[in-house]
Amino acid sequence: MVSARVGRGAVLAAAVLSLLTVPARAATPQADARGAAALPAPDVGGLDAVLRSVLDRGAPGALVRVDDGADAYLVTRGFADRSTRQGISTADRFRIGSVTKSFSAVVLLQLADEHKLDLDAPVNRYLPKLLPDDRITVRHVLSHRSGLYDYTTDMFARSVSGFEAVRDKVFGYRDLIALSLRKPRTNAPGAAYAYSNTNYVVAGLLIEKLTGGSVRGAYEKRLITPLGLRDTFYVHPDTRIPGRHAHGYLTPDDAGAALVDATEQTVSWAQSAGALISSARDLNTFYSALLRGRLLSAARLAEMEHFTRVDATTSYGLGLRRRELSCGVSVYGHTGAVQGFYTYAFASKDGRRTLTAAANTSNNAKVLGALAGTLESAFCGRGTGKALRAPAAGQRDLRQ
């Protein structure tokens, strides 16, 4: 199944996808500074081609939504539910995995704006004796430079058996941190970037300590309700996705083995590092508001956008990724992987153009690499949508 929409309300079939594209202007590095107004029109045909390649590589379904001012570009391919063969929709809710980290970071940065948190203070100032090193600061945690070992490395050494062992389990934050502290730290505090879900479990504990309430309450009060995110939920430890949603299918490690329906799970192994449920519309709304300065002071947003280089095309700030595209444009957001789902959610520097793309499988590097091509079609225009570099051998996709 495929569908596309441009503008508000016009629905078009695959046969006319090519009519939706506008000849692309050459994109330059200056387009990043000027924002979406300088970008070429999204290549809807290119988006569709990327989604077809995502399905060819093993995803049951995939979706993409691009919002650009008054225009929305919607493209879908495949199925939300393999058993009923219900087509996937851009209105479907899904698990967003590590895109949750941006929400957690924004809450803590708001608390910093309210002078309730010092980013350069030791975590142990707020959570005494939690961590073995008083040099680990809140900023180190939010930027993945704490050196805290990622407990999910061991938890999901085998994809299916690891998942089934925790599918219905409920952890406390301190339980997960204890798993991390059984292993040596990867580096001294501040010495290097090393992505670790442990960091954002610490972030969740900080949120609850500083607000006196739950992470769910903080998300709802500070982000979900003010932004009108009607499809965004933190249901932990409930296992269900409320309302219309896509099923998520975990790809086993063994080639040729049947996909595992991983839709229902507590996601307690991730919590504030990756347990939110949302939709393409809501994620675009969130990142647009963030980049437009609606959620943080200018000073705090600038701190969030202070990036450490990760690789040739990616840098990491405070719960925010920057990706550099082939046309010289940089986009800002986060990636997510949780059993059954991959997500890319990114925006132009000015927040005017936003993209969310999702596929309902995981543990499949070919799907992950192909889905990244939606960024090229959405922000660079016609003829640029292609599968980007997949994770290197041995790179686990839950480190998103």
Is residue 31 within 8 A of residue 37, CB to CB? The reply is: no
- In angstroms, the CA 33 to CA 9 distance is 31
The answer to whether 99 and 83 have CB atoms below 8 angstroms apart is: no
**Sign, Cα dihedral of 217, 220, 223, 226:** negative
**DSSP conformation letters of 263-316:** -S---TTTGGGT--EE-HHHHHHHHHHHHTTSSS-HHHHHHHT--EE-SSSEEE
With residue 345 as reference, give the H or E element that holds it.
strand 341-347
Backbone φ/ψ region at 348: left (φ over 0), alpha (ψ -120 to 50), beta: beta
Omega prior to 184 cis, within 30 of 0: no
Catalytic residue status for 143: no
Tokens in use for 119?
């980013």
| 3-state DSSP assignment of residue 383 | coil
Select which of 98, 143, 279, 288 is catalytic.
98
With residue 30 as reference, give the H or E element that holds it.
helix 30-34
**Bridge-based pairing state of the strands 249-250 and 361-362:** parallel
- Calpha distance 360→196 (Å, rounded): 23
Contacts with 389 (C-beta within 8 Å, 6 or more apart), sequence order: 313, 369, 372
Active site residues: 98
